[in-house]
Amino acid sequence: MIFHAYQRTPPLMPRRTAFLTLLIFAAVTAACSTGAAPDPGTQPTPVEVTEVFEGTVTVNGAKTHPFMVERAGTVTARLTVLSDAAATVGLSLGTWNGATCAIILANDAAAAGVSVIGTAQATGQFCVRIYDVGVLSAAVNYAVDVTHF
């Protein structure tokens, strides 16, 4: 005699029961979901940061100050102090790679009160540079306010 292993499979679930099971599952899933879109008003307001850089520019010299931008937006470098009111210097904004400042915007005739304004398209390392454009007859002290997000 030959014996065969035989396992009886349960009958398929009737259509009505399957439909009711699916309907209950959908109702439970919908009840667990809020369905509400996030409120755009709950986004944190960007915080404007102002950094002050001070130093001395010598004849034919330059100073570079790196800074980190945490959020895309407006970047403003304002020359607030220049110890010789008649002096002009170069004032520029650029990107910082850890060693050099790649100038993006420059004003080669900046006096106290002058600003250079740009837009950071992304977060990253930036820099402000103050330099003699060949017109200083003596070193000058300066202060630059850099405002960004």
Ordered by start, the domain boundaries in the chain are 49-148
Q: What is the pLDDT of residue 117?
A: 98
Q: In the structure encoding, which two tokens stand for residue 93, read together?
A: 């904004």
Among the listed residues 146, 148, 144, the one whose alpha carbon sits nearest the alpha carbon of residue 80: 144
What was the pLDDT predicted at 42?
72
pLDDT-derived band at 5, boundaries 50, 70, 90: very low
* 61 or 23, higher pLDDT: 61
Query: How many H helices and E strands in the chain?
Result: 1, 8
Higher-scoring residue by pLDDT: 11, 85: 85
What is the third-level CATH fold of 49-148? Answer: Jelly Rolls (2.60.120)
- The predicted-structure confidence for 27-76, as pLDDT tens digits, reads as follows 544 555 455 555 666 778 889 999 999 999 999 999 999 999 999 999 99
Q: Supply the pLDDT for residue 45.
A: 84
Which residues does 26 contact at the CB level (< 8 Å), separation at least 6?
A: none
Residue 43: its pLDDT value, please? 73
Amino acid 22: pLDDT: 46
Does pLDDT of 133 surpass 80? yes
